[in-house]
A and B are shown apart, each in its own frame.
Chain A
Amino acid sequence: MAHAHSVKRHKGLMDWLTTVDHKKIAILYLIAGGLFFGIGGIEALLIRVQLAKPMNDFVTAQQFNELITMHGTTMIFLGVMPVIFALMNAVVPLQIGARDVAFPFLNSLGFWTFLFGGLLLNLSWVMGGAPDAGWTSYTPLSSTTYSLTHGVDFYTIGLQIAGLGTLIGGINFLATIITMRAPGMSFMRMPMFTWTSFVTSAMILFAFPAVTVGLVLLSFDRILGANFFNVEAGGNPVLWQHIFWIFGHPEVYILILPAFGVISEVVSTFSRKRLFGYSSMVFATILIAFLGFMVWAHHMFTTGMGPVANALFSIATMLIAVPTGIKIFNWLFTMWGGQIRFTTANLFAAGFIPTFVMGGVTGVMLASAPADYQYHDTYFVVAHFHYVIVGGLVLGLFAGLHYWWPKMFGRVLNEGLGKVEFWTFIIGFHLTFFVQHFLGLIGMQRRVFTYLPNQGFDLMNLISTIGAFLMGVGVIIFLVNVAISFKQPKGVAGDVWEDGRTLEWAIPSPPPEYNFKQTPLVRGIDAFWKEKMAGNTEMTPAEPVGPIHMPSPTILPFVMSVGLFIAGLGFMFTSDDFGNSLLNFLFSNYIITGIGLAITFGSMLLRSLYDDHGWHIEPEEMNDKGVKA
């Protein structure tokens, strides 16, 4: 009788709006991330068109500043973060042998708040102008005195809502990895991607609240007339720089650590070897995360913090090279003595290693404060962080997508097309960004909407633009590959690469709703590989077959996010004159904001009042072929 709860199972669009299944949420994250990545990419191409030749007037100075601001913000917060969360959602529960995440409801809430925050930010393009003060939005340039449109309000409120989603996601994955591991899966038996997801989630938890506060202060300054950054009333603009980078630098590692995890999995699988130096990899990951919180001020060497602070932050920053180096060599020696198969996924991983090393060494160069006085805010920096974020993270994400695509969708991506995509993308990438190191060194500062001729900048900028379009072609080939893959019938083998080592390869592709029919017993690192080597074709179950409890789908996370969206929009326009007394009344009295918050908190109340008893999948329903874990 306990299992008698009936659950309304939705179909079509409603299924996606109400799902709490981590595998479906992964796909939602992937679609949203793809959308924003596309928008950010188009912005990048527009920037490169403008800079293709000196004194170009393809866009105006104002439009250019909006483009660079939105490109940076979109790519960091809305482009790559959700793809990371897509992989985490798709893979981590499977890798730890769990049926779901710790908080399925919060998982869904995290996605929808992220999405509505991102939509709100991008709405600025059609609602009077995008933010124009750079993705760092330094005050006072981002204050109402110098940034006259609502652009920066969209930035503060949009990022606030999206950041809330990310924070929720981080908490969820921390709890999931701590409590939901299958029997025998000790921390030191966790796959590397799970480890990096864990550390990244911890970093999200401690870094995002800082930017939450920063954004609150900036929006209070702009909307309520507060004085945090207003010098005339005693405010301190440098405070913004500190708060922003106390968040912003860990954010860089939040981004790159999951890529490290992906590379570890891919390299190890396609070398048919266990990860070399697993314990030192774990140690290095934690050390990088720790140091990541100690070095924020290296973004502010030219602010005049004094030689002592500059020297300390220089040394701390350089030290990060050591654990990062450990990782690089561990990957190389994972391949050493292995049998390397260059699938598209592994090609991306192989491309990652030298490219990321190049980004890493320029990072060490930038760490040296006196030299940084020269690099700072030039194209050298632009080249560096694109090497790390695109050459590191994005290559890692492509590797991960090609690797886990069969697991997520039950279809493989075409290998031939994948290789074309890899070469176009990576050649385009190096064309775009390699020359930018030199552009910076010969005197081109970043964030300039154009440049005078005869400075020696012209040729390299043209090369950079051509490279950017080549990268664009690479991404389009990937999209074509995706489209083609969906023409195939579903249902590739569970262990589709044949060398799968971790638990996700022990179950069908795509996995059934409940992931594991029986929770597997983990008997060592690379649990599935261990069983295969012992001659088993599947995992040893840790429990008998029984009914499986599942959380119910719910629309509340979606509604809560809509509420936040409305509240944010209402708050932004409190002091605007709409030329309509009713609208003015609704906005200036915070009525719209109130309605939005009422929707959100009302939904929370409903969630609290009506307990979700979930529903059960009975053993007789689990008749898929080869489901037994």
Chain B
Amino acid sequence: MIGQVVFNWICQKPVHNRKKTEKWGRSMMKPWKAVKRLVPLFAGLALLLSACGREDLSVLRPQGTVAEGQLGLIKLSITIMVAVMIIVFGIAAYVWIKFRRKPGQTDVPKQVEGNFKLEIIWTAIPLVLVLILAVATVQKVFAYGENYSADKNAVKVKVTSHLFWWEFSYPDYGVTTAQDLIIPTGKKIALELKTADVLHSFWVPSLAGKTDTNTDGTINNAWIQADKEGVYLGKCAELCGPSHAFMEFKVKSVSEDSFNNWVEAMKAPAVLPEDPAVAEVFKNQCLTCHAVGDQGGPVGPNLTGIGSRETVASILLNEEGSGKPAGGKPVKDNMVEWLNDPQKVKPGNKMPQPKEDLGLTDEEIDAIAQYLADYKLSY
């Protein structure tokens, strides 16, 4: 109960399902009073939490069906657990105050062997609490274990994790992209996850919990759904090497029309640099691994339309990105920063150093950066 209140109070006020919140708020008035003494603590907590994290990143502020259900389970368990904690702490505090040894006390307290009734009570009640949680757990395990890849209404996406980037391909549309997963709002997205190297884990906190990209060749299935348009932050959640911390990605939920436009734009023939010299360098040095449109290779992240992505290399935030991220820089600057020294931006990544390994000059880097920054898709 208390868990519910605290959560709704701190985290969920701004969320669209205000109705629910109000309902909870009203019915919860009484226990709320009962824990009046704890209010300062909660207030302090709230301050600390600065409203439960970012809307696009926090488990506590779900933006999609799966994450909402998971938060429901989290709230249920927190409620039970807070109740247990209050009982235990209450008894403990009482005992510590009441039964302190007084100075000069020498009599021997009664040596109690046990109490059958009491022991039954504190075996049975936890058992019941566990059962409540178990029922809710089992329901949701099966709900989120559902595989929608055969569902015609769902959009199928194959997710492949690489050190340290994400590849997204849409088998039904024949397009492949990287780092920004574009999805239509309100539709089920059926994910098929695998890895190209070590174990990674796919996590978009505000949309759904994690699914590992297994290393044994098996494909894991999961699904996500975003209820409203927006950009949600995704992360790799399994230690995968030096740049594990930087293996982020974005899920961009757009309207169905935009999504279709995006697919069309992705399928358009590749646009190469206008300057033939730059085009030559780009072809010979970059397209051996990367692809744009119908050209290039699949080893590195697909670069089609990279100018309209949210980030460069997933952690250099683009000023032009949705919501004008704090600390963002122009795409081109980010691109130059990356191309100048990828190892500095993302230690341990697999891209050859453009200068040292590929022999690119500052001018070539600048021209390629400019070209990529200008390579935008309109959707």
User: Chain B: interface secondary structure?
Assistant: mixed
Which residues of the other chain, A, contact B108 by a CB distance below 8 angstroms?
Answer: 272, 533
Task: Determine if B122 and A443 form an interchain contact, defined as CB atoms under 8 angstroms apart.
Answer: no
Query: In the complex, which of the residues B96, B138, B210 contacts A311, with contact meaning CB atoms closer than 8 Å?
Result: B138
**In the bound complex, CA of A342 to CA of B100 (Å):** 8
Bound Cα distance A354, B217 (Å): 44
* Closest A residue, CB atoms, query B89: A354
A442: B residues at CB distance < 8 A: 49, 52-54, 57-60, 205
Of the listed residues A279, A314, A370, the one surrounded by the most CB atoms of chain B closer than 10 A to its CB is A370
In the assembled complex, A477 has its CB within 8 A of some CB on chain B: no
- Determine the distance from Cα of A336 to Cα of B110 in the docked complex, in whole angstroms: 10
CB distance from B5 to the nearest CB of A (A): 17
Shortest distance in angstroms between B144's beta carbon and chain A's nearest beta carbon?
Answer: 5
Partner of A335, one of B88, B95, B134, B235: B95
A279 proximity list for chain B (CB < 8 A): 114
| Cβ–Cβ < 8 Å partners of B210 in chain A | 302, 373-374, 376-377
A440, B85: Cα distance in complex, Å: 21
Q: Known contacts A310-B145, A311-B142: does B119 contact A326 (CB below 8 Å)?
A: yes
User: Which residues in B have their C-beta under 8 angstroms from that of A231?
Assistant: 215-217
| 0/1 interface trace, chain B 89-121, chain A, CB 8 Å (1 if under) | 101100110011110010011111111001100
Q: Which residues of A contact B218 (CB under 8 A)?
A: 238, 304
A290 within 8 A of B: no
Q: A374–B88 contact, CB under 8 A?
A: no
Chain B contributes a number of interface residues (CB within 8 A of A) equal to 98
Indicate if B1 sits at the interface (CB-CB under 8 A).
Answer: no
How many whole Å from B332's CB to the nearest CB in chain A? 20
Per-residue CB contact flags for chain B residues 117-131 toward chain A (1 = under 8 Å, else 0) read 011001100110110
Asked if B268 is at the interface (CB within 8 A of a chain A CB), the reply is no
A622 within 8 A of B: no
Q: How far is the CA of A314 from the CA of B239 in the complex (A)?
A: 24
Interface residue? B372 (CB, 8 A): no
Q: Are B74 and A448 in contact (CB under 8 A)?
A: no
Of chain B, the residue at the smallest CB distance from A68 is B239
Is the beta-carbon distance between B74 and A374 smaller than 8 angstroms? yes
Is there contact, CB below 8 Å, between B239 and A306? no
Q: How far is the CB of A379 from chain B (nearest CB, A)?
A: 11
B111 → A minimal CB distance (Å): 5
B119 partner residues in chain A, CB cutoff 8 A: 277, 280, 326, 329-330
Which of chain A's residues 238-294 have a Cβ closer than 8 Å to chain B?
238, 271-274, 276-280
Shortest distance in angstroms between B65's beta carbon and chain A's nearest beta carbon?
Answer: 12
A454 located at the interface, meaning its Cβ lies under 8 Å from any Cβ of chain B in the complex: yes
For the A-B complex, the count of residue pairs with Cβ-Cβ distances under 8 Å equals 307
Residues B217 and A376 in contact, CB atoms below 8 Å apart: no
Given A280-B119, A311-B138, A325-B126, A370–B209 Cβ distance below 8 Å? Answer: yes
The chain B residue sitting closest to A133, CB to CB, is B239
Residue numbers in B under 8 Å from A310 (CB-CB): 141, 145
Contact with A139, one of B50, B70, B215, B235 (Cβ below 8 angstroms) = B215
- Of B71, B91, B101, B143, the contact of A340 (CB 8 Å cutoff): B101
- In the complex, what's the smallest C-beta–C-beta distance from B242 to chain A, in angstroms? 4
Question: B112, A337: Cβ atoms under 8 Å?
Answer: yes
Mostly, the A contact residues are helix
Q: Which of A29-37, A356-364, A393-401, A410-418 contacts B (4 or more CB under 8 A)?
A: A356-364
CB distance from A318 to the nearest CB of B (A): 5
- Is there an interface contact between B216 and A447, defined as CB atoms closer than 8 Å? no
Q: Is B84 an interface residue (CB 8 A)?
A: yes
Cβ of A371 under 8 Å from chain B: yes
Once bound together, how far apart are the Cα atoms of A461 and B133, in whole Å? 31
Q: Which residue of A lies closest to B108 (CB)?
A: A272
Q: Contact residues of B with A, CB < 8 Å?
A: 48-50, 52-54, 57-60, 67, 69-71, 73-74, 77-78, 80-81, 84-85, 88-89, 91-92, 95-96, 99-102, 105, 108-115, 118-119, 122-123, 126-127, 129-130, 133-134, 136-138, 140-145, 197-199, 201, 203, 205-206, 208-212, 214-218, 220-221, 233, 235-245, 315, 317, 325-327, 347-348
A residues neighboring B (CB under 8 Å)? 60-62, 65, 133-134, 138-141, 146, 231, 236-238, 271-274, 276-280, 302-304, 306-307, 310-311, 314-315, 318-319, 321-322, 325-326, 328-330, 332-333, 335-342, 350, 353-354, 357-358, 361-362, 364-365, 367-374, 376-378, 435, 438, 440-443, 445-456, 459-460, 463, 533
Residue contacts A-B, CB under 8 angstroms, 29 given: A61-B347, A62-B348, A65-B239, A140-B215, A273-B112, A274-B112, A278-B114, A280-B119, A304-B211, A306-B145, A310-B141, A311-B142, A318-B130, A322-B126, A325-B122, A326-B119, A350-B96, A362-B81, A364-B77, A368-B137, A371-B140, A374-B74, A376-B201, A442-B54, A442-B59, A443-B54, A443-B205, A445-B235, A449-B244
Apart from A332-B95, A372-B209, A438-B53, what 7 extra A-B contacts exist at CB < 8 Å?
A237-B214, A272-B108, A361-B85, A371-B209, A435-B48, A441-B53, A459-B50
